[in-house]
Structures are given as C-alpha cells and as structure tokens.
Chain A
Amino acid sequence: MLSAMQHPLLFSRFPRHISSSFAKSRPLHILSSAQPTAGLSVADQSPPSNSQILSIRHSLLSGHFTATQLAESYLNRLKLTEPQLNSFLHISNNVLKEAQEIDDKIKKKEEVGPLAGVLVGVKDNICTADMPSTGGSRILEGYRPPFDATAVKRVKELGGIVVGKTNLDEFGMGSTTEASAFKVTANPWDLSRVAGGSSGGSAAAVSARQCVVSLGSDTGGSVRQPASFCDVVGLKPTYGRVSRFGLMAYASSLDASGCFGSSVTDAGILLHAISGHDRFDATSSKQEVPDYASQFISATFLKSRPLEGLRVGLIRETIDEGVDSGVKSVIHGAASHLEQLGCMVTEVSLPSFSLGLPAYYILASSESSSNLSRYDGVRYGNQVSADELNSLYEDSRAKGFGPEVKMRILMGTYALSAGYYDAYYKRAQQVRTLIWESFKAALDENDILISPAAPSAAYKIGMMLTSSVIFFFFLLSLSFL
C-alpha cells in the first residue's frame, strides 16, 4: 500500500522548530549535493537526485568528504537536537571508529558496500550485539543481546554504521512513542506533538537528520503512521520480505521490519539491503529480491505522463467520517497528482475493512500475550527478590511492564482462554482471511491501492495517553497484506 503523502501541516524541507538551532552546526553539504552518482545509474538515465545514500556514496568515492567528516557532522547535529527530540535510547560509541575504517578502505581503494558511511538508526526492539536492546521496556533495561538481528547484520555488512537505538512504544505497542518506559519522543516539526509510533524514534531521527535512514518495525502501522507524522518516507514491506530474526516479537504473524528514509530511493535501497530469505527465520520469503532502487530514475528524464495506464484505487473506507478534512484534502491532492502523471484513479470499497481493526487487535494481543511470556523475571531485567515462584513472576512482570503492555497481555490471554478461543482468536483469523480476500480482489482490479497513513496529523503530546485502545479503533494504517 502506498502511504507516502505530503505532510498536511508543513511543506518546508526541514523541521522548522529545530532548524533554527542548527545555525551553529556545520552545514551538511551532503544534503545539497544533487549530482547523479556514477555507477548506480540505469543505463543512459540518471538516478533520482534526492537520494542521500547515493549522494553519500558519490561524495565518499570522489573524495568530496570523508566518512569521518560525515559522521562527525551527523553526530554534532544529533547532540544538538537530541535534548529536545529524545529520539534515541542509546547512542553508539563506535560511529567514528567505524567511519574511520571505511575511510581507510576507500584510501586503500578497497571495495566498500553500497551503504558505506551511511548512518542508520535502529529501533530498540531490533537486537544489536554491541549496544543495549530494551524494546523500550523496563523489563529489559540493560539487556545486551549476544547477536545482531539479521537486518542489522546485513546493514553492517554493506558498510552501514549503526548510530544508535531509537525510542519506541514499549515492545512496539502504541502509536505515539509515549508508551516507552524511558522517554517521550517529540515531533521534530512541532516539539509539542508526538512523533507517532511505535517507531517514533526512528521516524523523528530521519526527519531531523540525526541519521540518514533508519530501521523500524510495523505490526499495525508502526512504520507508516510515524512516517506520516514526521514527514519522511516509511516503508512497511510485505510480511516475510525482511527476516524477523532479532526483532523482538510483538505479534509474530504481523511483525515486519521496515525502513525510514528522507526519499523513496533511500527507503528502497535500505529495503533492498535488508530483504531476502534468512535461514534463521522460517517465515522469511524465498522469493527473489528485486533491486528496487536501480529502477528509480530522475524525474527530469521522465516523459510528461510517466504513469500512463496505471490503475490506482483509493480506498473509500479510509477517507470516510472520522478522518480529518486536512488529511482528506491531501490524499485527494495526491490522487489528482497521480492522475496528472497518467494514472487512472478510482475509489474502491473494501467492505471488510472495518473488521480489520478488531481482528487485528485480537490477533496481535493474543500473540503478544504469548511472546511476552518469556519476560518472566527469571532471566531479564531486575529480578525482584521473591520467596515464591509465583510472586517472582507476578512482581517482576508487574514492575517490568507498562500499562499498555499489561492491557494487551490481559486481552490476549483472555482471547486465547478455553471457551473464548473460538469466539475471538479463531474468528479473528477468519476475518483476516476475509480481509485478505477483499484486498486481493481490489488488487486484481487495480495496480496499486492508496490511502492516508493516519486519520489525522500528529497529536499533542499527552492527548492520547489515556485512550490508547480507543485510538486504535481510529487507526487506519492497518493492513494484513
């Protein structure tokens, strides 16, 4: 589903609130570098000029600047902005060292990977061996996994530098990043508003240029919605496209690692880097990974109606009542833009769409109640002293989990209990099949479907704190596909 849309509130290229404080920092020349990069272009055509990843590669290889200089400038910016944003839970100590290694390689004319020198933020529910990984939960405070998630491993192998671990709603459960056990991430465009969630830290970090791209995870909109709130490109890949190995499980049958970038090209390059079958994830797809980014070409080389004949379906149920008029006008604006480019845009109805949310809620809660059983206080976090086994579990979990997580565990446990399983879990699975079928039918008629990623722009911090459940029922960026 295409959910890239222009932010309804702000159209400037940089967040206004924090850009003023950048005056002191060194100018990020890479951001203005617009030269096409040699070597990666489609034959006779130039790649898009707005890709930071491609620009960085070009600049590093041409000696325009070094990876160390680049890293320093990002770290400076991060240092300046972080006190206001709180996008990160942990910042790596190895960034400059890793950048130096890339510079050494370039100096020795050794091959460097396509992500060489690219600073990548990683959502804190994705495991990293050299940094803490807490999933935003008190119960994993200080936990250091003994391994890198497959997505992280692949990023590193291609030369990417993990700059730090980004904030999130505890275990990905939430949509404002306010449910983090540690801090609340502010929206870079308006510090009084939320960054969205659950991958709020990853979205804000890219939006504020604290890093080049970032990894997030999306179970029920957790990449798409914060991307929309922070005006960056968020990409939630098809389930199975990216290995989940090392992604702390929330709802295993829905979880997907996704990408944030400041351009579609960057998100595409990052997706290409992390995609593909993984022998450590039995649900990862064996389908070949297309080179998404090489198919992108610069707009200047396109004919006037490049999308001629493309059938676009605008999902009617996502622009119904309950959706902000600003959002509606932006999505309609996007639709007419697509029409100008040659698309045939029609409204499509997905009758089962409204069933999606309750079904999602039951399935995700059920699976999470199971996935979170392992945090029993015997092994992780602060083991409370207890005389008896049951109280060890109870006290550790009572202290370690936040209210949102507890609520979902309770709901999930209930839905899976004997006597309720058929009415809830099983029925939700049937609904899931229905929704899958209706999406498939709509996609038989259309090449792509579009919808807003969220029914409104970012809310004020604190507004949604008490009504996270209710909020879910308004959340639209929800897809089982």
Chain B
Amino acid sequence: MASTFFRTIQTHPFLLLHPTAVFRRKNGVLRCTMRSTQTQTPTQEKQQSPQIKFSPQNPNKTFYEIPKGYEAIIGIETHVQLSTLTKAFCGCPCNYGSQPNTSICPVCMGLPGALPVLNSKVIEFAVKLGLALNCKLSLNSKFDRKQYFYPDLPKGYQISQFDMPIATGGYIDLDLPVEFGGGHRRFGITRVHMEEDAGKLLHSENGDYSQEITSPTLQYVFCSFMLIFRGSMVDLNRAGVPLLEIVSEPDMRNGMEAAEYAAELQRLVRYLGVSNGNMQEGSLRCDVNVSIRPVEQEKFGTKVEIKNLNSFSAVNRAIDFEISRQVLLHSQGQGDQIVQETRLWEEGSQETFTMRKKEGLADYRYFPEPDLPEVILTKEYVNSIRNTLPELPEMKRRRYEKMDLSMQDVLYLANDINVADYFDATIARGADAKLVANWIMGDIAAYMKNEKLSINDVKLKPDELAKLIASIKSGTISGKIGKEILFELLAKGGTVKGLIDEKDLVQAIDPVEIGKMVDKVLSDNLKQLEQYRGGKTKLQGFFTGQVMKISKGKASPGLLNKILLEKLNAKN
C-alpha cells in the first residue's frame, strides 16, 4: 500500500520544522535522530507527544557509552502529584496556577488546633499504582511524621509513610526505544508510599512581598495569610496536595534506561488516571541517585543525588554527564572527590553542580502520626480496585506485538492511552491493524502535531477512519483520494460516504473508461510515445500523471498502470 511506504515522508510538515532531521536505516528499522540542540519544550510535553525517542536531542548524548571497565548504578525516587479533586488531608481543591494562597485552609496552613483527615481517594490511587507496579500491598500501613524546618512546610513536619509503606517489592516492565537498540527491561520497585506536598517559596524579583502586608496583624487574617521571609513569600496552594513517592531499585545502568523508566512511570500514571504526570509542571518529579564502580568491584561507589530534572531528556543527559564526571574523577585517581551530596542539573550549561553536601544522614525524627488512624485495607477492597484497572502499557504492547506491528509502531501506539484507545476502537471496527497504525502514525500524527491537538480533539472518529480504510481497500476510492479527504475529515469531521458523494470521488475502475483515457493521452503525446518506445521507459510516469490528470485523480492506479503498460507495449 502506498501509504505504508510513504508514511515518513508524508510527515513533511513536521520535518520542515527540523530541517536537519536525518533518516537512516539500520536493521530494517527506520530510525529518526535529529541534529539539533533544541531541548524538549513544555508544549511538546503537554501534547503528550511520544517521549524521548522522537524528541530532538543530541544523538551523541543519547548514545553515550560508559567507558570500559566502569559500571554505573542508578536508582530513582519519583514524586507523583495525584490528580485528586481535593488535597490529601483537607477539603481544599488542588488548584494549579491559581493566585498564591487562595486554595488554603486551617489544616493545610498548619494552624494550631487543625487536624488532618485522610482523603480516601489518595488510598485508592496508591492502591491502583501499587497494583500496576506489581507490588505487594500492605493491608496495614500507617502515616508518620517526617520532621524538618523549612518555611514552605507549615507544620514543621511532613505527613509521610516511613517504615510501613502502602506498597513494596514490585517491578516495572518496559521496552527500550528501537532507535536506542531496543530490548525489554524489568526494573525493580522498592516501595510506594503516600505523603503530602509542601508549599512553594516565591521569590520576588524587585524588592519584596512585604509590601503586600500592611500590618502585622494581617498575618492572622485568614484570607490574606501570607508568609514572609526576607522578600520571599510562601504560597501554600500546593501544601497538602497528595503525592505518591515511588522508589526504584538501583537497577538502571545509564541515562537512557533511567529516562525510559521515568517515561514508563509517566505512562502508567496517565493510563491509571491518577496523575497528569507533567514533568514541567512538577506533577512528576525525579530525583536520581548515581554512583559508579569498576566492573570488578562488588561494593557500590559513593552515591550522588541529582535534582532539578524537568524532562526525560534532562534525566538522560544529567545522568550521563554525572557518570562521565565520576568516571573521570575515578580514572584520575581522584575517586575520593566523589562525595555524598545533592547536585543540581543546569539546563543551560548541561552540567551538574553541587547544591549541598550531606554530612551524615539527615535525622528526620520519624514517628507515627498520632492524628491519623492506621490505614487498613481489606482484600475485597484491593480486589475491587484490581478489577477496575485498565489494560496497562505493558499488556498493550504485548498485545500489539502479536498483531505483527513493528516495535516502533507498538511503542508509538501504546505511549499515549488516548492514541491506544483510538487505535483499538478503529481495529475493533474491522480495520487492518497495520493500516490503522500507519494512518495514525503518519498523517494523523502529523496533523495533530501541526495543529497542536491531541487525538481526542481531532474530528475524525475511529468509526470513520475504519470506513475510510475500508473504502480504499475495496477500491471505492484511491489511496491518493483517501489521503485528501482524510485532512478534511480531520479538520471538519463528517462521514467518508458523505464526502465521497459530495465530491464525486468514486474511483474509476471501469477498464473501458480508463482505456479511453489512456488512448487519448497517447494520441495527444505522440512524441513522448515515440521516445518511450525508443527505450525511454522512464516516461511511464509521465503518462500515468497525464491520465490521472484527466481522470481528476479518480483512476484506479493499479488498473491504470496495467492498461497503460498494455497499450504502451502493444505495438512494440
């Protein structure tokens, strides 16, 4: 089918945005890398475009190889902000982007006498994610207080889970992108626990926020509750928003694997509907721990933590940078300069910098939260949640794989649950899986990209896509015409049948009629006919074009070629 082979080329609007795009074939798989220093932008991520593998990034970084003789050990702590309507322990709405300190109450402000009451949705979401990560759920768990002082922490402690997390001992399955060599990986999950988010410190650029406070007594007035310290204001809208912290086993070995782990986690939370998973907004935050060791060494090297990773490519590049930094130090005999510390990733300079050194372990003086009863789950409850789980990305990929789709197709389709649902709905109407995949990944993806739409926004619904494909397959319309009306359907909606009727697009499949057209073209172009018959067979395309032109594109290409060849060669 034409659309199969031209798929990548038909995405030209997308390519034009990145004129330096290079395509090359390796092992029969088309790989796409971009020579562009452009980093992933927020809008790209918000569109839920396929992560990492299509993101423009430096291929040299992508294919970073750890120097021989060394191994990197990477573990990730991920905080996922849950998309519950209200906060974890009070009734305040979880509002993004609202004015500072407008979504607050005595509980999340930590006012004296206020008490937390657990939002049951948090448990539900934690159980969902725990099950999806193949964890063992603790039927008895509890909350603890993690204590430290910081202005964004209104109570002086964070309600978290310490020694009895809600879920432990799971794993996550994922497929590495084909352009990075492909392969399946299983990374261990140490634990999943529930906790609350802290507020945010807002630093004013000119002067300070204290101008907004006209009198010290205003500090006690509820609606204008502001927290000030030297020109910084504390915004408590985020304080008390529920989080799940997911701690991985130290199973990743390079930046790409770590980024893929994070991407799969994002996919999972989006599939489950427990979080929007946006890294730019901070709904999904990754702190990674990196250490290196000589391969023959059993003991782990000194662990360095990296924060401020706002995209998957940042995760990837920060880790690879950190590995190379540590390997360099180690190979120069300066291994003792690798110290336990927290480093920040700087997007601008593409480097990590020391944020703070850790002198011994911080003592958070955890103890059981006395304001909250234990969390008791019944087996029935867990099972009822299990029964509502959607088909998860890994299951989808395995199913798609059995449809003889390429891994590239499988990864693309399963990346976004909405795309996967669209795909599933289309094939459920009898359309061929490979054809549907091609349409979605080709013209439809290009259209969405151009128009900055998600698949749920396009007007062409799976039902009509299935009909469009069927119309081409049955020969009612040509593939070329199909492509033309596709864009109309995407933009304006309507039915395939309606458009075909309206524009009189039914393919000419009457051999007599096509024969007449061929005859006319041949007799109008005797000079070219002579040249053709003189051996210039390349002119076949010219004749095809001419016939197409007078048929207004409706001539069935297969039939046309057959008849044309017959007639061209007849008098030879």
Contacts and interface: CB of A to CB of B under 8 A. Distances in A.
A147 interface: yes
A378 B154 CA distance: 9
Contacts of B228: 378
B232 to A, nearest CB: 10
A144 interface: yes
A374 B367 contact: no
B115 A282 contact: yes
Given A378-B234, A389-B151, A147 B373 contact: no
A436 to B, nearest CB: 15
Contacts of B363: 417-418
B219 interface: yes
A146 B111 contact: yes
A383 B151 CA distance: 13
B110 A374 contact: yes
A126 interface: yes
A338 interface: no
B117 A145 contact: no
Nearest to B225: A379
Interface in A280-323: 280-283
Interface in A363-380: 366-367, 369-370, 372-376, 378-380
Interface stretch (A179-187, A243-251, A460-468): A243-251
Given A373-B147, A376-B149, A282 B118 contact: yes
Contacts of A421: 365-367
Given A147-B106, A392-B229, A374 B156 contact: yes
Contact of B113 (A126, A379, A392, A413): A126
A142 interface: yes
A245 B155 contact: no
A350 to B, nearest CB: 24
A143 B221 CA distance: 9
Contact of B112 (A133, A366, A378): A133
Contacts of A480: none
A282 B116 CA distance: 7
A253 interface: yes
B366 to A, nearest CB: 8
Given A282-B373, A378-B227, A366 B113 contact: no
Nearest to B365: A416
A393 interface: yes
Contacts, number: 117
Interface residues of A, number: 50
A133 to B, nearest CB: 7
Interface string A323-343: 000000000000000000000
Interface residues of B, number: 39
B150 to A, nearest CB: 8
A143 B222 CA distance: 11
B370 A252 contact: yes
A33 B322 CA distance: 84
Contacts of B220: 142-144
Contacts of B225: 379
B113 A378 contact: no
A117 interface: no
A127 B216 CA distance: 20
Interface in B462-488: none
B37 interface: no
Given A143-B220, A281-B117, A421-B367, A373 B149 contact: yes
A283 B371 contact: yes
Contact of B157 (A373, A413, A425): A373
Contacts of B366: 416, 421
Interface string A231-260: 000000000000011111101110000000
Given A127-B112, A145-B112, A282-B372, A376 B365 contact: no
Contacts of B361: 418
A146 B155 CA distance: 17
A135 interface: yes
Interface in B445-465: none
Contacts of B216: 383
Given A147-B106, A373-B157, A374-B154, A245 B371 contact: no
A140 interface: yes
A26 interface: no
Interface string B215-247: 011011110010111100010000000000000
A279 interface: yes
A373 B117 contact: no
Contacts of B142: none
B113 A142 contact: no
Contacts of B117: 279-282
13 contacts: A140-B112, A146-B221, A147-B111, A245-B113, A251-B370, A253-B370, A279-B117, A374-B110, A376-B156, A383-B216, A393-B149, A417-B363, A421-B365
For the complex of A and B, the 6 pairs showing the least CB-CB separation, nearest first, are A373-B156, A146-B222, A252-B370, A253-B370, A416-B365, A246-B113
Given A140-B112, A370-B147, A378-B228, 17 more contacts: A127-B113, A133-B112, A143-B112, A245-B114, A246-B114, A252-B370, A280-B115, A367-B370, A370-B145, A370-B157, A373-B147, A373-B149, A374-B112, A376-B151, A380-B112, A389-B151, A417-B365
Interface of A: 125-127, 133, 135, 140, 142-147, 149, 244-249, 251-253, 279-283, 366-367, 369-370, 372-376, 378-380, 383, 387, 389, 392-393, 413, 416-418, 421, 425
Interface of B: 106, 110-118, 145, 147, 149, 151, 154-157, 216-217, 219-222, 225, 227-230, 234, 361, 363, 365-367, 370-373
